[in-house]
Amino acid sequence: MQIFIGNDGEIKGIKSQLTQELGLPFSKRVSNVEPVNRVWRYCFYWIRKRVTDDSRLAEFTRHWPCMWQAKIHDGPVLGPFKSRKSAISAEILYINFRMIEGDLV
């Protein structure tokens, strides 16, 4: 977990227990981790739009044996990766780098 404090005092960080404890009021999605294959990706979003994030079905979609990518909004698509966990790791590294550079709002 990392947080970044700008010259103006603004605190940024990837949503985590730490950012929640700090009470950061604003949350903005800057990326999505999704299957690379279009059919898997369609099924993934179809299911995820219909269930809660903590449901068994949502959990099932997190463990699909397919290639994964991290799609950064207004940025590159990272991947493909053999696991969702690897895609998430790359996503976090990229977003943290962008925050360090100061070009991620």
Spatial separation of the C-alpha atoms in residues 20 and 36, rounded to whole Å? 31
Range 58-62 average pLDDT: 97
Give me the residue label for tokens 């990518």: 69
**What's the pTM value of the predicted model, to 2 decimals?**
0.81
pLDDT at 15 over 80: no
Spatial separation of the C-alpha atoms in residues 33 and 68, rounded to whole Å? 7
What pLDDT, in 10s, does the model give residues 61-94? 999 999 999 999 989 999 999 999 999 999 989 9
Residue 83 gets which letter from DSSP? S
CA 75 to chain centre: 13
